[in-house]
Structures are given as C-alpha cells and as structure tokens.
Amino acid sequence: MRITAEPAFVLHARPWRETSLLVEVLTATHGRLGVLARGAQGPKRHVLRAALQPLQWIRLDAVQRGELARLVAAEAVDAAPRLLGEALLAGFYLNELTLRLAPRQDPQPDLFHAYAVARERLRADEPLGWTLRRYERDLLEALGVGFDWQVDGDGIAIDPAARYRLDPEHGARRLLSDRGQADRAGAATGRALLAMAADTPPEAEDQAGLRRALRSVLEHHLGPRGLKSWEMLGDLARVGPRSNAPG
C-alpha cells in the first residue's frame, strides 16, 4: 500500500543499524504506524532527521508492506513546540502514552485530533496537569474505553459532594463514607468528574485525586509494565499550586 502526503505526528524515533531510524508516527487516516527511515542518519540528511523528531508534525510518503512501512519522503509542516523542564516531560508522557495504547494500523481520527489539540496546548504553555487530564480523557474515548463523566456506572447522576473510584470496566463507582483512607486517596471527587464532563478546569484541591483516579484506569489498560515517563515525572503534582506539573 502506498501512503501519500499523509499528515502525521512523530511519537518516537530510535537508531536502526548504522544510518537508519525506526520511527513511530500517529497518522490522520492510518492510525499509528511504524516507519523505517533508511539513511536518515547519513551526513547529508539533517533536514530529514529534524523532521523526524518527537512532537514534530510532518507530511510523509511511505510504502506499507507488512508491519513496517518504508519511508519515501517526509517534510515538517510546522515547527515543533519548544518545550523545557516539566513541559518537556509532559510532551514525553503524551508520546509514550499514545505509543503504548494506540494500536498499529488502526485508524483513529479522533485520537489524531486530540493529540493535535494537546500539542498546541503544550505550545501555548497552558496548565500541564489539566492539559494531560484532558488528553487522557480524550484518548480513552477515542479508543472506545472512555466514560460518561456525568453519571456513574449504574446510570445514576454524579453527586458533586461524593467521591468516586474509576472502574475501567464499569465506570465511576461511588465510595461509601466509611471506606478506608487508601480507597479515598485513589478516588476523585464528583465535582472533578463533572468538571471533566464540562471541559472546565477542576478546583485545585480536586486535581490530585482526579490524576490518581485516571492513572488507575491507564494502568489497567497498560498492563503490568508502566510508563517510563511516570518514573521521570514522579509525583510532581504534590508540589502544589505553584507548578503546572503534569503528574
């Protein structure tokens, strides 16, 4: 199959043999693709190498045979966001999460759009935690495993004053008031879930619980192997309102 002028975002690139790269991209119409860029590390291919950096938006031509496509040409569509510090780690997380959960060669136009929006939010220096919670929500929805944030798993309207655990298979489960501290620590407030439904930033005191509740869902879908970016990021949300830490 020949792929021509396909919009794509670069998720990851690593060396292959002496002069080539293995590149993972999220495309607009073909989903996630593994692409072999032969000779991309050659002495005169710096323009191509620059186009194949993570977070770069490109337009590519390739030939798909089997699991990997062979890159024919690629050009940058714009300049990738210039990220530093926590924002750079947030970009790494965005790419790693997409790489791990998006299946290869499965068209995901909604996910492509959600990634494009999140990338621009990183560029615009919007609050990192909220940017990533929205992307986590939209990624799960695009992959068909999202939630109705306005009702719990039994169809009962979310109570903003209650606390909920996110069950990956069932949806939100309301916690009983006598549940232990550990259960409550891994739960989100109903107010935070309703903020997700309305696409409005949750209250500052609700953000950590929402992050932990969503992480438990992501861990379920990722399986036993976690994310390297979680190790790198640590639990940056604990530093408080001063930081836009993604967590």
In this prediction, residue 65 carries a pLDDT of: 86
- Determine which of 8-12, 78-82, 229-233, 241-245 has the lowest per-residue pLDDT on average: 241-245
The whole-number average pLDDT for the span 170-179 is 84
- pLDDT tens-digit profile of 12-31? 999 988 889 999 999 999 99
In this prediction, residue 72 carries a pLDDT of: 95
The whole-number average pLDDT for the span 1-10 is 96
The alpha carbon torsion through 92, 60, 140, 237 (nearest 10 deg) reads 20
Q: Between 246 and 185, whose confidence is greater?
A: 185
Q: Are 149 and 157 in contact (CB under 8 A)?
A: no
- CA 237 to CA 77: how far, in whole Å? 33
Per DSSP (E only), the strands in 130-206 are 163-167, 171-174, 188-189
Q: Does residue 245 surpass a pLDDT of 90?
A: no
Backbone Cα Rg of the chain:
19
Q: Between 49 and 243, whose confidence is greater?
A: 49
Q: Which domains does the chain have, with CATH numbers?
A: 2-76 (2.40.50.140), 85-239 (1.20.1440.120)
In this prediction, residue 241 carries a pLDDT of: 43
**With the C-alpha atoms ordered 73, 78, 84, 86, is the resulting torsion angle positive or negative?**
negative
In this prediction, residue 6 carries a pLDDT of: 97
Q: Token match 């640590």: residue?
A: 234
Q: Which residues pair with 69 in a beta bridge?
A: 35, 64
In the chain the first and final C-alpha atoms are separated, in Å, by: 40
Q: Between 109 and 66, whose confidence is greater?
A: 109
Q: Are 184 and 175 in contact (CB under 8 A)?
A: yes
- pLDDT tens-digit profile of 156-169? 999 999 999 999 99
- pLDDT tens-digit profile of 201-240? 999 999 999 999 999 999 999 999 989 998 887 655 454 4
